Amino acid sequence: MKKINLVILIIILGLTSASCKKFVDGYDKDPNAISYTTPELMMQGVILQNQFFHKADGMRLSMMWMNQATGADRQYKILDDWNQATSEDFNGPWNEVYVVLGQAYLMSELADKNNNQLLRGLGKLYQAWAGGEAASLWGDVPFSQANNKDIENPIFDSQQHVFDQIQQLLDDAIADLSSGNGIIYDSKDIWFKGNASKWIKIAHGLKARFYLHSKQYDLAQQEALQGPSSPNDDLMALFDSNNDQPYGMRNPTWQFMRARDGYMDASDTYAVGLFRSRENNKTKEGGRKTYNYGSNDLNYNAVGSDRVGKFFGNMKLLTYGEMLLIQTECILRDNTKTVADALIPYNTYRALLETKYDTGGFGSASNVRYTAYDPADFNNGGIENHGSNAVSDPKKAFLREVFEERYLFFIGDYESFIDHARSYNDPMVPQYMELSDYDDEPLRFVYPEVEEDANDNFPGSVSITTPLPLYN
């Protein structure tokens, strides 16, 4: 993250330019050069870059390691074993998330100069989002000094300190977005058309997510109640699904599968089997399975405009469904609450799935069923707590169900990987998934080569199998 020092070069060019000036007068203006930008022009780029970080190369690696996809050919066959990943493999996602952080910071600064509090708040939201995801994946990361142009070697803040800072930044973002001062240009906001109240819900949803990641469950539950409260509030990564649109506007996994045919498939994934094994007299998973997977592959196809595979069209970023799952988990972790209490948001979530939510149009009456659960279903011998996997504590059985559900709901999202990292040493969470048969387990992203080369405060290499600080 070093900044390149151009002062000496500028001085030299300045001394030599005077003698050349008369030869270039009138010809030295590039009509295509950008000499000025505005925060509203930056806004769409920041949001698009953020969704690219969430749905591109790092996400695909995490899917393979969580046994939701299979590395089948060439370098992906090697990378299917997380122990073969090197620091160079993490250059892409690191650069992507820090581009979001830097550009969102600049967007906020420009909005502040224009006295546009609403847009300043949106910039702060995306700074916090980038910092929170970096801490959730890498642990200790540069944040407090990352955007200081005078600091060439920013320190690595502790994972918890980053979470503390981004929570304050999200509070500031909510205050700005609630001010009514300024404008979020609806022509650039292709997500919520300039509706600040929806962005406020996203900010609360991010607070809930990152409180969950930092194990502050009471606060996570409170914020989830203020996050997205219907499917209309869902923030999606938007990709153009029309065949006549440019290739670069498509879903990144669709692009990857077309350009690298056969590199990754679903030939040997735990997730496909889990969809089948979860079915009982209250649950049918056929619609969601087809939305995520074909017979032996990820679903990156469209069958008309009304049935679009997950890896062809738009994908989840932060949603109402996630808020209901956060509420459920946090209630289960509260010693003063019961299984019946946790079933209130969870059955609301199941009712949401019953509407064919999260099926991409592949759901039908014959393959979608999510009947409400009862507390007895999680007792020893109940339909969600029986056989060799039965546990004595109904809350633990319910937590296993919640983590299984999150594992399937977040296929194609970093949250599955983060869930595995944060539950690895958690005695409350029974085993809920199976990894591929490689040594040890992937518990974090590795610091990238680009940061090791550029930052004198680089803390040293860590293994992908080393737990993150908060989950050690």
- Domain boundaries along the sequence of the chain: 40-435
Residue with tokens 């990152």: 210
| Residue 241: predicted pLDDT | 61
Task: Give the single-character DSSP code of 25.
Answer: T
In which element (H, E) is residue 342 found? helix 339-354
Per-residue pLDDT of the chain (472 residues; tens, 9 = 90+): 644 333 333 333 343 333 333 333 443 443 433 345 788 889 999 999 999 999 999 999 999 999 999 999 999 999 999 999 999 999 999 999 999 999 999 999 999 999 999 999 999 999 999 999 999 999 999 999 999 999 999 999 999 999 999 999 999 999 999 999 999 999 999 999 999 999 999 999 999 999 999 999 999 999 999 999 999 999 999 987 655 555 456 899 999 988 898 999 999 899 999 999 999 999 999 999 999 999 889 999 888 878 999 999 999 999 999 999 999 999 999 999 999 999 999 999 999 999 999 999 999 999 999 999 999 999 999 999 999 999 999 999 999 999 999 999 999 999 999 999 999 999 999 999 999 999 999 999 999 999 999 999 999 999 999 999 999 9
For residue 284, the cross-strand partners are: 369
Question: What is the Cα Rg of the chain in Å?
Answer: 24
Which top CATH class is 40-435? mainly alpha
Helix (H, G, I), strand (E, B) or coil at 317: strand
Could you give the CA distance from residue 48 to residue 322 in angstroms, rounded to a whole number?
Answer: 21
Could you give the CA distance from residue 176 to residue 178 in angstroms, rounded to a whole number?
Answer: 5
State the amino acid at position 271 in one-letter form: A
| Residue 25: predicted pLDDT | 44
CB 328 within 8 A of CB 399: no
Could you give the CA distance from residue 376 to residue 394 in angstroms, rounded to a whole number?
Answer: 9
Sign of CA dihedral 282, 288, 290, 292: negative
Could you give the CA distance from residue 42 to residue 235 in angstroms, rounded to a whole number?
Answer: 19
The pTM assigned to this predicted structure is: 0.92
CB 117 within 8 A of CB 69: no
| Residue 4: predicted pLDDT | 35
DSSP H helical segments within 142-284, as ranges? 159-177, 196-213, 217-224, 252-259, 270-277
| Residue 18: predicted pLDDT | 39
Nearest to 69 by CA among 222, 280, 296: 296
> Assign residue 13 a region: left if phi > 0, alpha if psi is -120 to 50, beta otherwise?
alpha
Residue with tokens 């029986």: 386
For 305, half-sphere exposure in the C-beta direction (CA atoms, 13 angstrom radius) is 3
| Residue 378: predicted pLDDT | 98
